[in-house]
Amino acid sequence: MLAVTCPRDRLLPSEDLGASWRAVRPRPPGIHLDSAASSRQSHRALEAAAHHARHESELGGYVAEATADDLLQQGRSVLGGLVGMAAADVAFVESAQAALVALLSGWRLPAGSRVACLPGEYAPNVAQLRAAGLRPEPLPVDDLGRADVDAVARLLADAPPRFVHLTHIGSHRGLLQPARETAALCREAGVPLVLDAAQSLGHVDVDLGADVVYGTSRKWLAGPRGVGILFARPAIAAQLVPVLPEPEGVPPLRAFESGEAHVAGRIGLVVAVGEHLAAGPDQVRERLAALGRATRELLDGVAGWQVVEPVEEPTATTTLRAPDGVDVLETRTRLLTEHGIVLSAIGPERAPGEMTSPVLRVSPHLDATIEDLEALAAAL
């Protein structure tokens, strides 16, 4: 990367990767900077899902699914590799939230069990923990909201919870949590770590030693909506009790896969994760981090908007606090309707333990350019 002081002169790494990512997707009518909500799928992922949907119409849904068994199993293996697990440790579900629900419904922990999670935890996650009869308690964090590793070590030693739930990257803030260090501490203390990787799978390294990981297809992996993934190591999977167990010889976690599933979407995800691997996960992470850094450099202070994250945070997600008197939701709508720029407006209800006001979220994928970011700055 060229070392320069002016962000407009910055060269992003792997421009060929950005160009190839762009070339294999439908051309957007505007500027898409909203991958933390839902990324744009490739032609191949779209066509693979459509091809299977046609097979369902021709052969019947269950016959078509049987013909795709080998491909789906290959997908489980490849996805498991992203988090350091095996194909038997992977279950396809319908969303990241569905994965958390499946985990909690199968784990059947005693009511009132303590679960340590971030003060800025995603509100639907907290709601699911409480619905399962569990008691969320705050992990210690620093002034930015990042888990304080030393204080977490003391918590695990003095008052260990039943498990630690850590959202790797929040949906309301592009802050990367110290998941690898937390996993090591949890392993030493004998406390399971559950990692919410909805915003990190395909974005940053997720092979960090967590006991359970869950995520989604539609964000940084750029797969279809309506597909999620639950990963659980054998020691945890053995503790899960499904409503109906799988037949002998079938991995126990498979019992948590719905029989009434969007199989075409799962196939689209398998194709998308193959494209992610072909792009080179290390290169993907490097370019995404550089896009995040460039976004913060270009946008901080523009028209009074203030970047929340540290400039060098190694993620592609940036959130902006509005100047006094500026409505975030109206700004998001104006950017879309007047400039064709797709972003998200995030309200405090997303993470009420941490947020006090709404933010504008910018989350470019590999195909974004400095010119795209400059257009956003000009529109703001």
Edge-first strand listing for the sheet containing 212-216: 90-93, 228-232, 212-216, 193-196, 163-167, 114-117, 135-138
Residues constituting the chain: 380
pLDDT of residue 246: 78
Residue 72 has pLDDT above 80, yes or no: yes
pLDDT of residue 150: 98
Q: Which two tokens stand for residue 61?
A: 């849904």
% of the chain residues with pLDDT over 70: 97
For 139-193, what is each residue's pLDDT tens digit? 999 999 999 999 999 999 999 999 999 999 999 999 999 999 999 999 999 999 9
Residue 264 has pLDDT above 50, yes or no: yes
For 313-327, what is each residue's pLDDT tens digit? 999 999 999 999 999
Angle between the N-to-C axes of helices 149-158 and 179-189, in degrees from 0 to 180, rounded to the nearest 10:
20
Grade residue 217 by pLDDT with cuts at 50, 70 and 90: very high
Mean pLDDT of 276-293: 98
Q: Which amino acid is at 38?
A: S
What pTM does this model have? 0.96
Residue 7 has pLDDT above 70, yes or no: no
Residue 105 has pLDDT above 70, yes or no: yes
Q: Report long-range pairs for 83-87 (Cβ below 8 Å, ≥24 apart).
A: 83/197, 83/201, 83/206, 83/207, 83/208, 83/210, 83/213, 83/231, 84/207, 84/208, 84/209, 85/213, 85/231, 85/232, 85/233, 87/251
How far is Cα 348 from Cα 183, in angstroms, rounded to an integer?
A: 29
For 117-148, what is each residue's pLDDT tens digit? 999 999 999 999 999 999 999 999 999 999 99
Contacts of 260 (CB under 8 A, 6+ apart): none
Q: Where in the chain is the domain with CATH 3.40.640.10?
A: 45-278
For 84-93, what is each residue's pLDDT tens digit? 999 999 999 9
More confident residue, 32 or 2: 32
pLDDT of residue 162: 98
- Nearest residue to 336 (alpha-carbon basis) of 20, 17, 27, 32: 32
Q: Which two tokens stand for residue 293?
A: 């850094």
Q: Where in the chain is the domain with CATH 3.90.1150.10?
A: 7-42+280-379
* Assigned fold of 7-42+280-379: Aspartate Aminotransferase, domain 1 (3.90.1150)
pLDDT of residue 9: 53
Yes or no: domain 45-278 corresponds to CATH 3.40.50.11890: no
Please, which residues bridge with residue 31 across strands? 341
More confident residue, 246 or 361: 361
Mean pLDDT of 236-242: 96
pLDDT of residue 10: 64
CB atoms within 10 A of CB 156: 19
Grade residue 99 by pLDDT with cuts at 50, 70 and 90: very high
How far is Cα 280 from Cα 160, in angstroms, rounded to an integer?
A: 38
How far is Cα 39 from Cα 23, in angstroms, rounded to an integer?
A: 15
Q: Which amino acid is at 194?
A: V
Mean pLDDT of 24-42: 97
Mean pLDDT of 104-119: 98
Q: Based on the number of CB atoms within 10 Å of its own CB, is 109 exposed (0-12), middle (13-18) or buried (19 or more)? A: middle
Grade residue 3 by pLDDT with cuts at 50, 70 and 90: very low
